[in-house]
């Protein structure tokens, strides 16, 4: 029996090359499709706690604050939030309580003053989700910058402001300012 030859025919080489190229192209398409399907915007809604009953210490919400918290729940439930964050102050937790109840979620507490850590947590653990954060007038701008907002963040005065951040997998963060009295916020 003659020894095997290492002679490769042109037809065999073309078939092998086409199959190899086809496999690579298909693999690339599947990877790209997977990235596109898995690459969703992260939506973060920021707002200040509702009206408080006093000026000093860890005070509760006033009656007006409780009414605002109920209206916020009606406004935010249609967006189908998946994660709720509040500071460790009573007024932020009370502001989110009606939304948490209606959405069937727990309010996760993070210490006030650690907004950069909260931003890192949202970007690392809650990508592609709809996140609601109730903060304070002096914490929201820091949190927004930590989430990628590069332009100026509006001054937080009063209790009626609401800011929606759309954080794409890549590219600039989009910031939308709204009044809380507007129409419900849709998902996505």
Q: What does the alpha-carbon distance between residue 164 and residue 130 come to, in Å, rounded to a whole number?
A: 10
| Pairing label, strands 107-110, 83-87 | parallel
pTM more than 0.85: no
pLDDT score of 188 = 59
Which segments of the chain have a pLDDT < 70? 1-39, 182-188
Cα–Cα distances (Å) from 46 to 9, 57, 144, 153, 179, in that order, read: 67, 22, 8, 11, 12
Q: What is the pLDDT of residue 175?
A: 96
- Write out the CATH class of domain 40-179: alpha beta
* pLDDT for the residue numbered 21: 59
Whether the CA torsion 126, 127, 129, 134 is positive or negative: it is: positive
> Can you give the pLDDT at residue 29?
47
């Amino acid at each position: 029996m003659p020894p095997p030859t290492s002679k490769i025919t042109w037809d065999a080489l073309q078939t092998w090359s086409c199959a190899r190229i086809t496999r690579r192209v298909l693999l690339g398409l599947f990877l790209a499709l997977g990235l596109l399907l898995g690459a969703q915007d992260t939506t973060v809604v920021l707002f200040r706690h509702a009206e408080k009953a006093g000026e000093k210490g860890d005070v509760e919400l006033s009656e007006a604050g409780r009414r605002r918290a109920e209206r916020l729940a009606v406004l935010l439930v249609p967006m189908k939030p998946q994660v709720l964050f509040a500071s460790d102050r009573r007024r932020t937790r009370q502001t989110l309580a009606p939304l948490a109840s209606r959405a069937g979620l727990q309010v996760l507490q993070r210490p006030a003053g650690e907004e950069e850590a909260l931003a890192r947590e949202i970007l690392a653990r809650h990508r592609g989700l709809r996140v609601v954060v109730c903060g304070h007038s002096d914490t929201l701008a820091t949190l927004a910058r930590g989430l990628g907002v590069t332009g100026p963040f509006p001054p937080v005065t009063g209790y009626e402001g609401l800011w929606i951040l759309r954080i794409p997998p890549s590219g600039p963060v989009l910031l939308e300012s709204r009044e809380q009295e507007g129409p419900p916020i849709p998902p996505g």
